[in-house]
Chain A
Amino acid sequence: AAGVIQSPRHLIKEKRETATLKCYPIPRHDTVYWYQQGPGQDPQFLISFYEKMQSDKGSIPDRFSAQQFSDYHSELNMSSLELGDSALYFCASSLEGGSYGYTFGSGTRLTVV
């Protein structure tokens, strides 16, 4: 079965650089969610999109932005990277508000040096 695909799997950036993370949801899923997970922490909700419109916003820094495209894939853009942005970034997708569950990707490990 198709899963949620995230790219890249690993990313190393220097401080003040920019990064773009991509997420390809399960086909026909209408909602994408982004989460950030620091070492030893629970995943923290960043932002979500339903049918290409932002549906909810969490603790996402102003330096970050995201969008969902016509093919339903989503991109998380991160600028002016800081050391504290080093984390695992997960994308999840769902159908009809999660009534049929949520599927997570394998994540992108971002390291800022």
Chain B
Amino acid sequence: GESVGLHLPTLSVQEGDNSIINCAYSNSASDYFIWYKQESGKGPQFIIDIRSNMDKRQGQRVTVLLNKTVKHLSLQIAATQPGDSAVYFCAERGSGGSNYKLTFGKGTLLTVNP
């Protein structure tokens, strides 16, 4: 499989604990942010999103926090399970014009120990 873990920040937690994954984004004009989960050899899978007019959004077991002042995103996973083990990326969308591509931040490898 991929040697994803060799170059990425890592977070190791025990099953049942809460996990917090952080991300710094680059463009203060970005208006939309998405967290993706990526398992080895697979495509990014949507977890949760948030728009720039919000600072918090909750989903099932996941919460995203947005701090526009310091250009920071965090993903909180409650009661982390072994199936949550994966690489997590934040992505930002630029605003204005036709520039709707997503720009990815550095991923974090989450390992959940049973």
Contacts and interface: CB of A to CB of B under 8 A. Distances in A.
B101 A42 contact: no
Nearest to B45: A104
Contacts of A42: 89, 104-107
Given A39-B4, A40-B2, A40-B7, A58 B46 contact: no
A107 B43 contact: yes
Q: How large is the interface on A (under 10, 10 to 19, 20 to 34, 35 or more residues)?
A: 20 to 34
A43 B44 contact: yes
Given A42-B89, A103-B46, A105-B43, A50 B107 contact: no
By CB atoms of chain A within 10 A, which of B34, B43, B46 has the most? B43
Given A39-B2, A40-B3, A42-B89, A109 B101 contact: no
A33 B104 CA distance: 13
Interface string B48-60: 0100000000000
Given A39-B3, A98-B32, A33 B102 contact: yes
Interface in A80-104: 88, 90, 92, 94, 97-99, 101-104
B43 A90 contact: yes
Interface string A3-27: 0100000000000000000000000
A71 interface: no
Given A41-B7, A97-B100, 4 more contacts: A4-B43, A90-B44, A101-B34, A102-B34
21 contacts: A39-B6, A40-B3, A40-B7, A40-B8, A42-B89, A43-B89, A43-B104, A48-B100, A50-B98, A55-B98, A55-B100, A56-B99, A88-B2, A97-B93, A98-B100, A98-B102, A99-B32, A101-B46, A101-B49, A104-B45, A109-B41
